[in-house]
Amino acid sequence: MSALFSEFELGGMTFDNRVVVSPMCQYLAEDGSATDWHLMHLGNLAMSGAGLLIVEATHVSREGRITHNCLGLYSDENEAALARAIDFCRRHGTAKLGIQVGHAGRKASTDIPLRGGKPLPSEQGAWQTIAPSALPYAEGWHTPRAFQAEDFARVREEFVQAAIRAARIGFDLFELHGGHGYLLHQFLSPISNRREDAYGGDLAGRMRFPLEVFDAVRSVWPHDRPLGIRLSATDWVEGGWTLGETAELARELKNRGCDFIDVTTSGLDPRQQIPIGPGYQVPFAEQIRREAEIPTMAVGMITEPQQAEAIIAEGRADFVMLARGMMYDPRWAWHAAEELGVEIPYPAQYARALPSKWPQAFAHRRRTAPKAVGDARQL
């Protein structure tokens, strides 16, 4: 048996395997609404063989978008457009369907990465950004307006309304975006949060608003569907958010009904120094899983079937997440299953492509038995 292709129960829901298509911003929405691109992109990945597909970062308000072209879930039009794509995925795909929801905070009001990703000038429709403190992300970036008393309730309610819309669409899983330097991460890190009130200062103060948002979403998200959060485990900058603080936050989230932590790193400060390599973020998922005793998803240059198999078999994480690896090979899970000697369900229209249905074409390929041990700890 393959560990990677074993079932896993999360928040009362059973996933067919541990392969997750990670959220990937596409920057092709129109006023927050999904387009035919999303129908094609998500529909394709829903048939990838992954156990879970998570829709790209979807924003709770217009001002919370990274760019003019980011997905949103703040209007009836947004909801209807996204429901069209998700209905297609549900009808034809094999993956469970999740959504990542967030607010960009001080990293909002930028151009798309293909055009450099820099802050928008006023003539291109720049808008006022908000953040815990009036500190720009980097030199030359917009200076955000610091949160005022009324902003806490307003933004919290925007998250709630997005969760209600996501439940109505029928998503199986909901993930808050608390990493990559966006709003909830900005509250957590002492680099971006210099507040002197109850929402800043020590760890309890910096965690307060993200925990309030989680509690508010937990109160409306169905309890038979998993609810989790993506966290950057470290800022990779001296004086920033740390792995130890992430573990403490994860324990508190678990106590409040969090079902999983999607563990990533970085994104808060351009001074970050990241030792990138295969599986470079897996140790963070492993430590959070061990210290907080909560299921984790690992991400970060997980590209090879045996690498992914070892991560799950060794108990280093409960799910592996692929983003660029899935763009490069949208049938990665099919190919991984074939390499590991496992047969997984294909969409009915593609069932003839199962290797067992035309074995002559695969006779020259030798399947490799799943390995229970391996080393994916490279940094």
What CA–CA distance (Å, rounded) separates 332 from 17?
13
What CA–CA distance (Å, rounded) separates 218 from 58?
18
> Is 182 among the catalytic positions?
yes
Catalytic residue among 74, 137, 182, 346: 182
- Report CA 86 to chain centroid distance, whole Å: 17
Q: Alpha helix (H) ranges present in the chain?
A: 36-46, 76-92, 149-169, 183-188, 203-218, 243-255, 282-292, 305-313, 324-328, 332-339
Place of tokens 């000697």: 341
Closest CA to 309 of 375, 230, 379: 375
What b/e sequence results for 306-327 when a residue is b if at least 16 CB atoms lie within 10 Å of its CB, and e otherwise? bbbbbbbbbebbbbbbbbebbe
Write down how long the chain is.
379
Residue 218: count other Cβ atoms within 10 Å of its Cβ.
18
What CA–CA distance (Å, rounded) separates 208 from 189?
12
- CA Rg, the chain, in Å? 20
What CA–CA distance (Å, rounded) separates 172 from 260?
14
Q: Give the tokens for residue 328.
A: 């490069």
Q: How far is CA 178 from CA 63, 162, 263, 324, in A?
A: 17, 15, 10, 21
Contact 331, 353 (CB under 8 A): no
What CA–CA distance (Å, rounded) separates 318 from 297?
6
Contact 269, 181 (CB under 8 A): yes
Amino acid at the residue 19: V
Q: Phi/psi at 251 (nearest 5 deg)?
A: -65, -40
Going by the DSSP 8-state scheme, the letter that residue 281 receives in this structure is T
Residue 273: count other Cβ atoms within 10 Å of its Cβ.
8
List, by residue number, the catalytic residues.
182
